[in-house]
A and B are shown apart, each in its own frame.
Chain A
Amino acid sequence: MSETQTIAVEFKRVMKSFGTKRVLNDVSFHVDQGQALCLLGRSGTGKSVTLKLIMALMRPDSGEVCVDQDNVVGMDEKHLSLVRKKLGYLFQDAALFDSLTLYENLALPLSRLTRKSKAEIDDVVHRVLTDVGLGTDGAKFPSALSGGMRKRAGLARALVLEPKILLADEPSSGLDRITASEIDELLMRQRAERGTALIIVTHDVRGARRVADRVGVLDKGNLVAFGPVDEVSQSENEVARKLITE
């Protein structure tokens, strides 16, 4: 298999601004299938925007964002829908649907996007909830869940369609270290068992060291360092070095 065939996500000279503020400036990188990339950087440096560009929830001002070889920029809704089926997204605050139970949150994409029967959907939802340690909580509404449980539920929903690529926006934020480690374990297991590519936005350097093959450091919209953790920790860029060695 050639190198280009294994690329899961690729950014090519991507620019993105909000008003006069440029949040991504000529950013290029790629992540191979089965690899884990952690994006680090101070708040407001464009990390979450990067994930939203991959999911095509935003459009860049210029450049290309390729998911599994397909450029999602300017793609019509019909094709975008097919691309999004390859992606799972764990939102920062899980973004579970308040009006639905945990079971319904997970069953919704399965009933809408697959031809599974009710019994098959029940099986999948139960299995995924059990995988994240919420096997007995399917009937609960999101408001009844703790922060850690919500994160795990958000992860379960992101994984329920068995995506090739998983995007996670600060999966450990607001969690104690033990719960954060559990989330990291779940992410690593997903990658090991299914070969899922992971792109994780995080402030948790310790978690990034455990999970990531490569890290990227964003500063003022620029990708100032990109590579294996040890390499970035020796970077000439002070912000990157400080972030990794803190």
Chain B
Amino acid sequence: MDSDAVLGAITRCEPSAQARGQSDTLAVRVPLERLLPLLQQARDTEALGFNMLMDHTAIDWPERSCFELLYRLYSTRHGHALLVTTEVPRENPVAPTACGIWPGAQFLEREVYDLLGVLYDEHPDLRRVFLEDSWQGHPLRKDYQDPDMLAAP
């Protein structure tokens, strides 16, 4: 299916999903509470068939005081891709986990928790993955201060 058809199918499943501009691949933006239903339908609908979660990451926008979560989906049956974005507030960054839909998501979410500090509700094993358990802070945040980091002259 081409991009317009996929976009049409998504908005039919989930009316609150809107196209997200400023992306070179097909992207939709969805409010946080409708994220899991959209992801579930994206996987289960025959025409969409997004059976792979390629990537999950997050972007820190301090001036909008939110984290933008990105879910990059891919369908091996049809060969189309979709980017789903949503926003969580920065003061209380709790998002639902996508482990129920794609079990591999739990590890991608652990990485986002480790480096950015986004918490996942009902995650089976939310632990730091790269840094030590006793590390303070989340390095990829824009306001992360570390006296050990050396800035280039």
Q: Do A and B bind each other?
A: no
Contact residues of A with B, CB < 8 Å? Answer: none
